[in-house]
Amino acid sequence: MLAFSLPKLALPTPTLLLLACLAFYVLRSRLLRPYLKFIWHCFLRPIGAVDQKSRLDNFYQGQADVYDTTRNGLLRGRNTMLALSAAHLKSIRSAEPGKRLVWIDMGGGTGHNIELMNEHMPILESFDAVYLIDLCEPLLDIARKRFAKKGWSNVHVLCQDAGEFMLPEWTKGKDPKGSVGFVTLSYSLSMIPSFYTVLDRVEHVLCPKDGLLSVVDFYTAGKQPSLHEKAIGGVSKECGWLSRWFWQIWFDFDHVSLSPARRSYLEYKFGTIKSFNGRNGFILPFIVRIPYYIWLGRPRSCDVSRASHAFEVEGGNMIGNCSPAPANATTEGEDLVPALHPGQRSDRGVVIDITPPFSSFHYHLNQSWRLPYYEQPVHKEFRTFIYSFTWEDPSEDMKHLQLTSKDSMFVITSAGDNALHYAVAANPQRIHCVDMNPCQGHLLELKLAGIHCLDYDDFFALFGKGKHSNFRGLLDSKLAPHLSSSAYQFWRINSQSFSSSFYLRGYSGWALRMAGLIFRIAGASGDIKALCDSETIEQQVEIWTKKLRPVLLNPLVVALLKNPVFCWNALGVPLNQRKMLLDEGNIYEFIRDTLDPLVSTYLLKKSNYFYLLTLLGHYTPESCPEYLTRAGFNALKANHGQRLDTFRIHTDSIANVLRGLSDGALTRALIMDHLDWFTPGSSDIDEEVAELHRTIAPGGFVFWRSAAKKPWYNANFESQGFQVTALAVRKGEKGPALDRVNMYASFWRAVKI
């Protein structure tokens, strides 16, 4: 028989006594008492009741006094929901600041939410009346004591069934329809058996003009989102089969239902403003992750006004490339042709919904910048933005664009820098920004929202310095009301983007990080700083020639830049464009002919923000894009951001967006180096150029840059009836530089005859 013994842990007697005293102290102290109570009442003690009220009273009777302490980590997202709600309420109701505001906190329990909301909107000053409605007396006793201590005379505690709630201010015989401005359901919708009745009643009493409903709760969801979910953005919503099975059964023991029906009906009954799906890992991070969501919405019958744009989607089709306008709004100058389906008709480009009230889904925005889109498989290929900055010189564009306030532009979104430059410089009537990568649209949305609601210092910290110590706070309290649901979800998930350097994020950030690594290995970091601090061209050329040129033009760097994987993942250069470049030379010549003329022409410190950013990882007030200058920022922000109204952000292919534009709707189009990506002879080129010819007005311009000195697709424009002219072609290492980037071999203009 095999015998063994466990090793004995030999501790000195004083140590054992100390540990015993510590254990006794912890058990006797109040440190663990709340959690022991929580464990007993939630997992061990039988409820022993049948009806809902008795069950709630029995369940919370012995733990009401420790409820807030023990739920802080479990009930995640409550503060975020309230911060978002406060920001949206301020934005929505800014047009009528003196209007009466009533808040109902449904299932509010101990009143924790109301006390928390006081940090975002002072309760006494912001609300005419606040009603906490709950069916559990032990929790309501805590709430009454809390509010009495605060001295909030406008807060009222009501013990009522959520499905039959009645406010004391509702006089008998008078319909309370539309009398409430704000309703919250914080981890209570999953506990209400008659949730259909509750949501129907909330919809009835919520003001159709500016009412707001906010929900935070646990949930489960399948892996195949509906069309509705795709329209409002459903990032990370899907739960695996094990997660769905486990959490539904686990919470069902406490009569908490995580069935998808509650959230599905919520999103069907109301129009979505914001939707965020999170995972609570407060017990064992990365192992135990309870799904929870934050959702903000409005009645489907809400007014479609300047501050609220509703988009109808149904049956897999996008209904309209423009926001529906109020009945009395003008549609003059609208240049979009919406896609229609049975039950819809078009009136000069504006979609008018004439279907039954519940046949379509409302997608709400505070601003009209971002056009709604269904999330398609191709969108999921883009995990983040490729470009955190735009790599083409808009000042050179402006020399040839001949822009006026009457022009309508079509541009590739990229990081949005150039589109913002055009808005500052000429304020055209419309700028259509197009990108298949939704993350590029999220980035431009964030910039537009920041210009609209932030002061210059905060805005420059975000996009000039590339970092902000409180981005998450700005996102929830100021930026969120001006972002689409999809954009908010993206930036909420990526809220650490501005914690260090924003410009080191995204695919383009790889190139910047790699450049920094190369300079550190070569011991040239000090020379980089000296180059960026140079006060004269002569000083700059000397540092470049003697110190930095040998580093960048060495065989190892050339080999790295020649690698097709690095070209795409770090520089955003696809294989076809790379081939065009190599067909006319080699990588060494390309780097030499790009950088030598630049260093001898533009002073980085004051006039070439493109390369200053790549070297420093941030802009400076002296050298930055036009929208980041104080004058440019103020121009865009003036008159309540009137210039921002020119933007329309499309998340689709260029050809698809062009199909949605009416004949002659555009006067200017800038397609960057986009056509370099196509395979020679591709039929897609013919289709796209044909659509450009149809949508460009006679005399209108199309501009593009190319890695080739004479791109093969010029012939496609000429065959469609454009007159093609070379505006600039690169000549070699002696220059001159074509612009402040000088990375393209040529710059072209096509005029529609």
What distance in Å separates the CA atoms of residue 353 and residue 667, rounded to the nearest whole number? Answer: 30
Question: Does residue 62 lie in a domain region?
Answer: no
Residues 150 and 272 in one domain: yes
Instruction: Please indicate, yes or no, whether residues 596 and 640 belong to a single structural domain of this protein.
Output: no
> pLDDT (tens digit, 9 = 90+) per residue, 133-157?
998 888 999 999 999 999 999 999 9
Residues 341 and 452 in one domain: no
pLDDT level of residue 19 (50, 70, 90 thresholds): low
Q: For residue 324, give the nearest of 344, 299, 295, 341 by alpha carbon.
A: 344
Domain boundary among 271, 299, 327: 299
Written as six digits, the tokens of 250 are 């686990």
How far, in Å, CA of 440 to CA of 387, rounded? 7
Range of the domain at 76: 68-299
- pLDDT for the residue numbered 488: 94
pLDDT at residue 352 above 50?
no
Alpha-carbon distance of 195 to 188, in angstroms, equals 10
pLDDT at 650: 95
pLDDT in tens, 58-106: 665 656 565 566 667 788 899 999 999 999 999 887 778 889 999 999 9
Percent of the chain with pLDDT over 90: 55
Residue 13 has pLDDT above 80, yes or no: no
Calpha distance 54→469 (Å, rounded): 48
Regarding whether 605 and 591 lie in a shared domain, the answer is: yes
Side by side, the strands of the sheet bearing 155-159 are 155-159, 129-134, 102-106, 182-186, 212-218, 290-299, 270-280, 361-365, 309-314, 317-319
pLDDT, greater one: 224 or 185:
185
Go through the chain and tell me how many residues it has: 753
- 261 with 342, same domain: the answer is no
Report, in angstroms and rounded to the nearest whole number, the Rg of the chain calculated over CA atoms.
30
Whether 634 contacts 459, CB under 8 Å = no
Is the peptide bond prior to 621 cis by the omega test (within 30 degrees of 0)?
no
> How distant, in Å, are the alpha carbons of 236, 281, 602 from that of 489?
10, 19, 40
Predicted pLDDT of residue 374? 78
In the three-class reduction of DSSP (H, G, I as helix; E, B as strand; rest coil), residue 144 is classed as helix
pLDDT at 159 (0 to 100): 94
pLDDT at position 47 is: 60
More confident residue, 316 or 211: 211
Mean pLDDT of the chain: 83
State how far the alpha carbon of 187 is from the alpha carbons of 66, 199, 284, 615, in Å.
17, 14, 21, 49
More confident residue, 571 or 335: 571
Residue 664 lies in a domain: yes
For residue 654, how far is the Cα from the chain centroid?
Answer: 22
Q: Please give the pLDDT value at position 475.
A: 97
Tens digits of residue pLDDT in 661-699: 999 999 999 999 889 888 887 888 999 999 999 999 999
Domain boundary among 586, 616, 646: 616
- Which tokens hold the place of 46? 């039988």
Q: Is the same domain home to 481 and 544?
A: no
**What pLDDT is recorded for position 677?**
82
| Whether residues 354 and 461 fall in one domain | no
Can you give the pLDDT at residue 563?
66
* Six token digits for residue 739: 């612009």
Instruction: Please enumerate in sequence order all residues whose Cβ is within 8 A of that of 686, keeping only pairs 6 or more positions apart, or say none.
Output: 716
Structure-token match 């203009």, residue found: 749
Question: Which two structure tokens, joined as six digits, stand for 348?
Answer: 């000069």
CA dist 250 and 262 (Å) reads 17
Helix (H) or strand (E) run with residue 669 in it: strand 666-670
Q: Give the count of domains, the chain.
A: 4
- Side-chain-side CA neighbours of 114 within 13 Å: the count stands at 36
Stretch among 3-7, 293-297, 510-514 having the lowest mean pLDDT: 3-7
Per-residue model confidence as pLDDT tens digits over 610-660: 999 999 999 999 999 999 999 999 999 999 999 999 999 999 999 999 999
Domain boundary among 299, 321, 353: 299
Least confident among 142-146, 341-345, 401-405? 341-345
- Token pair for residue 482? 């001006």
DSSP assignments along 281-320, one per residue:
-SSSTTTS-EEEEEEEEEETT----TT-EEEEEETTEEE-
**Could you give the C-alpha distances from 416 to 422, 440, 463, 682, in angstroms and in order?**
10, 8, 12, 28
154 and 96 belong to one structural domain: yes
Instruction: Report the run of H or E that residue 132 belongs to, with start and end.
Output: strand 129-134
Q: If you ran DSSP here, which 8-state letter would residue 629 be given?
A: S
Interval 301-314 mean pLDDT: 45
The tokens describing 76, both together, are: 């995640």
Q: Classify 215 as helix, strand or coil.
A: strand
pLDDT of 225 over the 80 cut = no
Query: Is 390 inside any structural domain?
Result: yes
Q: Residue 119 belongs to a domain with what CATH number?
A: 3.40.50.150
By the 8 A CB rule, do 528 and 534 touch?
no
Q: Three-state DSSP class for 649?
A: strand
In order, the DSSP letters of 589-615 are: HHHHHHHHHHHTT--HHHH-HHHHHHH
Please, what is the angle between helix 261-269 and helix 195-205, to 10°? 20
Among the listed ranges 71-80, 206-215, 385-394, which one has the minimum average pLDDT value?
71-80
pLDDT greater than 50 at residue 355: no
pLDDT of amino acid 363: 60
622 domain residue, yes or no: no
Q: Where are the beta strands (DSSP E) in 376-462?
A: 408-412, 430-434
CA angle (746 as vertex; 744, 749 as ends), nearest 5: 125
Stretch 211-233: mean pLDDT: 84
Same domain flag for 543 and 600: yes
Inside any domain, residue 63: no
Which pLDDT band, with edges at 50, 70 and 90, does 577 fall under? confident
Q: Is the domain of 396 the same as that of 490?
A: yes
- pLDDT of the residue at 32: 59
Q: Tell me, yes or no, whether 255 and 144 share the same domain.
A: yes
Question: Distance of alpha carbon 348 from its chain centroid, rounded?
Answer: 31
Per-residue DSSP letter, 370: B
pLDDT of 286 reads 62
Question: What is this structure's pTM?
Answer: 0.85
CB-based contacts of 491: which residues, under 8 Å, 6+ apart? Answer: 442, 446, 475, 479, 483, 497
The answer to whether the beta carbons of residues 257 and 52 sit under 8 Å apart is no
- 414's CB contacts (< 8 A; 6+ apart) are 387, 390, 391, 392, 435, 440, 672
Residue 500 corresponds to which amino acid? S
pLDDT the model gives residue 133: 96
Residue type, 552: L
Structure letter (DSSP) for residue 584: T
| pLDDT attached to residue 342 | 29
Amino acid identity for residue 477 in this structure: S
Q: Give me the torsion for CA of 683, 685, 687, 691, rounded to 10°.
A: 180
- Asked if the model's pLDDT at residue 566 lies above 70, the reply is no
On whether residue 2 sits in a domain, the answer given is: no
Question: Is the pLDDT score of 325 beyond 70?
Answer: no
Confirm whether 22 is domain-assigned.
no
Nearest alpha carbon to residue 160 among 177, 135, 138, 181: 135
Sequential DSSP letters for 495-507 = GGGGSS-GGGSHH
Summarize pLDDT for 695-746 with one digit per residue, the tens. Answer: 999 999 999 999 889 999 999 999 999 999 999 998 877 779 999 999 899 9
On whether residue 171 sits in a domain, the answer given is yes
Range of lowest pLDDT (44-48, 503-507, 546-550): 44-48
Residue 307: the pLDDT is 37
Residue 100 is encoded by which pair of tokens?
């009466």
Same domain, 449 and 561: no
